[in-house]
A and B are shown apart, each in its own frame.
Chain A
Amino acid sequence: MTDNSSTLGESLRRQGVTRRGFLKFCTATASMLALPAGMAPAVAAALEKARRPSVIWLSFQECTGCTESLTRSHAPTVENLLFDYISLDYHHTLQAASGAAAEAAREKAMHDNAGKYLLVVDGSIPLGHPGYSTIAGISNLQMLQETAAGAAAVIAVGTCAAFGGLPKAAPNPTGAVSVSDIITDKPIINVSGCPPIPSVITGVLAHYLTFDTLPELDQYGRPMAFFGTSIHDRCYRRPFYDKGLFAETFDDEGARKGWCLYKLGCKGPMAYNACATMKWNQGTSWPVESGHGCLGCSEPSFWDAGGFYKALSIPTGDISRTVGIAGAAGLAIGAAAVGLNRAAKSRAKQQHGTVTVDDLEKTS
């Protein structure tokens, strides 16, 4: 499977891809990387010489949604991705091999490409007990540490790998953590989302392939090209937010007219992702366009960030209950304060010595 001897350009030409086809391919790649549109020739020059990296894909506590998302990646097609872009040497869901043969493939790739292969991880790692999640009898923690040791970089795909995700949500029964909680000595790119936008996964790979460097990352280790602006700021419904026009329920006039979904719990203002421009399902639509607020799935702890249908500004606790309890406590403490003040004042009244004109001068 591994063939690192030829460059991408040679490989494509061997397949009879014309220069026009290659240019088109590069245009698509540049667009996917959110590069300025005029950058396609530069991308072409870089891709011409790029070599296919070996990729090892590890899946831990996950739902395979990230892989599902990737296999629906439309630009370029998964076939292209698998056979032209990268050499996917281990992916226990997609690979044909199983059992000992599969593990052998992983070990061979690690050995052959030591220090050069890319490690892709989806799923979080349970620290509560090694037996919570194992592959071929190896705990997730051990496999991650082993495999990351020789990797050039780690790409944490999906919110579980990037931030802990659903397994880490309170009460976090397995003691789940993110990749970056364990691996600290390798470059890590977080491609968060539940699942991530497929083009973003391939885009990150393409970036690595094109420029042989890691993309510029944000505070959370996410590529700025895709996570640089919030959903809210790129949302086509934003003008309604600014005008103060909101859907109040999912089936009201406002909802039909496509007004802002803030009041219905849209987490767009705090969610950074590219959904608003890249969209889903071959660019067909995305959650807000289909009438549902953003869940903020690309953000750390989004499962615990209050109800999905509660507006972002509403605190996560039960405020009415807090007000009720505090009010009752206030009444109790207030009653005590009344007692103290009454006592103090009646003491002052008792101590009152009648003032007569003989008392006007100070005691000296």
Chain B
Amino acid sequence: MNVLDDINIPVDPSGALSGETGNALILLQEIAHAMRHLLETGESRTLDLLAIPFGPTDEDRLLSELGQGEVSATLNALGESRVWESRYSGVWVVEHRNLDGQRVAFQIEITRMPEILCAHSADIESGLKRLNETLITGRQGFTSENPQEEP
């Protein structure tokens, strides 16, 4: 192993591993187009960032360009998800992670309200059912530790 230790491994102190494809700029143009489309027709668009070849710095570039807007939300559903509106209203960044904290989806949604934030009828029904059970049994307190307990 001593031999291996002698091998000098140069480390670039600047850490400036360049790798911009210019795709960030193209995406911004695409977003602008989708915003116009949303205003004119009311139709939403979604861009899947995992399907776009990004260099090491492209994502940072895009996100810093989009910035942070008025709304941000964190979901806990099969792992954590983060949703925030960019500084351009109607442009949302949606990042889903699984239970292991790994990113499973990363999207830009151009819409008035991301679908994932809306409460769904099935969940409302099941919530209502649980609330009724609580009211019927007359229990004073209930735990919210596990919202996913067996119905």
Binding site for B on A (CB under 8 A): 14-21, 23-25, 27-28, 30-32, 34, 36-38, 74-77, 80, 234-239, 251, 256-258, 276-278, 282-283, 285, 289
Pairwise interchain contact B45-A283, C-beta atoms closer than 8 A: no
**Please, which residues of chain A bring their CB within 8 A of the CB of B51?**
31, 34, 277
| A236 CA / B19 CA spacing, docked (Å) | 7
Q: Nearest Cβ in chain A — how far from B20, in angstroms? A: 8
Residues of A within 8 A of B46 (CB): 37-38
Distance A78 CA – B59 CA, assembled complex (angstroms) = 27
CB A335 to nearest CB in B, in angstroms, measures 52
Residues in B17-75 with C-beta less than 8 Å from chain A = 17-23, 44-48, 50-56, 58, 75
CB pair A18 B53 closer than 8 Å: no
CA–CA, A150 and B79, complex, Å: 38
Q: Are B122 and A19 in contact (CB under 8 A)?
A: yes
Determine if A28 and B105 form an interchain contact, defined as CB atoms under 8 angstroms apart: yes
A30 — which chain B residues lie within 8 A by C-beta? 48
When distances are taken between beta carbons in the complex, the residues of chain A under 8 Å from B53 are 234-236, 276-277
Q: Are A23 and B103 in contact (CB under 8 A)?
A: no
The 8 Å CB contact of A20, one of B45, B77, B102, is B77
For the complex, give the distance between the alpha carbons of A277 and B50 in Å: 6
Complex contacts, B105 vs chain A, CB 8 Å: 24, 27-28, 31, 75
Beyond the given A34-B51, A236-B53, A289-B19, please list 15 additional residue pairs across the A-B interface where CB-CB is below 8 A.
Answer: A18-B120, A19-B123, A20-B123, A23-B116, A24-B79, A25-B78, A27-B107, A28-B104, A31-B48, A74-B98, A76-B98, A236-B19, A258-B19, A277-B51, A282-B103
A94 and B35 CA atoms in complex are apart in Å by 49
Q: Which residues of A contact B128 (CB under 8 A)?
A: none
Q: Separation in Å of the B31 CB from the closest CB of chain A?
A: 13
Which range holds the interface residue count of chain B?
A: 35 or more
For B44, what are the chain A residues with a Cβ–Cβ distance below 8 Å? 38
In the complex the two chains form, what is the Cα distance from A28 to B126 in whole Å?
A: 24
Most chain B C-beta atoms within 10 Å of own C-beta, residue among A20, A278, A282:
A20
The CA-CA distance from A177 to B150 in the complex, in Å, is: 50
> Please, how many angstroms separate the alpha-carbon atoms of A20 and B56 in the complex?
31
Q: Bound complex: CA of A25 vs CA of B44, how far in Å?
A: 20
Interface hub of B17, B98, B150 (most chain A Cβ within 10 A): B98
A16–B151 CB distance below 8 A: yes
Contacts of B103 in A (CB 8 A): 282-283
CA A235 to CA B58, docked complex, whole Å: 13
What chain B residues lie within 8 Å of A15 (beta carbons)?
Answer: 148
Q: Give the one of A27, A251, A285 with max B CB within 10 A.
A: A27
Give me the 10 closest cross-chain CB pairs, A-B, nearest first: A236-B55, A37-B46, A16-B148, A21-B77, A28-B104, A19-B120, A75-B104, A21-B78, A74-B102, A37-B48
Indicate if the CB atoms of A28 and B10 lie closer than 8 Å: no
Q: How far is the CA of A38 from the CA of B115 in the complex (A)?
A: 11
Indicate whether A16 sits within 8 Å of B50 (C-beta atoms), given known contacts A28-B98, A75-B102, A282-B102: no
